[in-house]
Amino acid sequence: MKPDSTHFKLFLDHGSPMAALFCGTDESKHWQINVLASEILASGWEELPKECLISIDSARDKGFLNTTFHASTIDNQSVIFSWSMRAARLAALISEREANQNDNISNGRSCRDVVCFLEKAAKNTRNQDHLNDISRQRVAWLLRGVDAYVKAWELNTVPQNAESLLELFFSLLDNSWKCELNVREMAIHNYNFWLKSAINSWMNLSRKAETNGDYNTAALAASSVLRLIEFAEVNQVH
């Protein structure tokens, strides 16, 4: 890849996947060279459009670009950003599949995976447009996770489901992320609700387990009650 390439176009040449490189958006003036698509892409031939200009930056951000051909202008941070966004996209696809299968707990975990990868991507870019987009996506996927775990809780009121909801709403209250006031107010209310629900659920489990002679589970649940109370004391939410 030429250092000044900004766009490429995918096409087939006698059945071979090819890519035309451009240093601008005028195909007649900015064409540079045709190369095998594999020299540009690590993946994505099936997903990316053919016979139209594609931004190299866009392909890199989605994790499609073969970075070895642009190594002189790519540092580790941009590689981490690109692959974090790719991992987030793949986790989102997994979430979609799990939602269609009504696998609420797995769907909730996948939503949290998306958020984790988005946060990693945010740590590796200074592009404000990227950061704004990640921030919006982060809120959306946290709320999607909430929806999944609420459905799980409605089917099974085990303390783990309540605690997962507590953690999601606590993430929405992270001050390092700008959050709209109405979202923050909603998150505060739900954080307090699910904190109480999780503590009460662990309490009930501890009492029930002790009655049944399952002292190990009773002790574990009791320690979880204390853990959540201590968590709330350290992380007071107003």
Task: Please check the confidence at residue 74 and state whether its pLDDT lies above 60.
Answer: no
Residue 144 banded pLDDT, cuts 50, 70, 90: very high
Dihedrals phi, psi of 165, to nearest 5 degrees: -65, -40
Q: How many CB atoms lie within 10 A of CB 85?
A: 24
Q: CATH for 75-156? A: 1.20.58
Name the nearest CA neighbour of 116 among 75, 96, 145: 145
Task: Please tell me whether the overall predicted TM-score, pTM, comes out greater than 0.85 for this model.
Answer: no
- Mean pLDDT confidence for 56-79: 71
Q: Domain ranges in the chain?
A: 7-73, 75-156, 157-238
157-190, pLDDT tens digit by residue?
999 999 999 999 999 998 888 778 888 999 999 9
Where residue 137 falls among pLDDT bands split at 50, 70, 90?
very high
Task: Specify the DSSP element, H or E, that contains 17.
Answer: strand 16-22
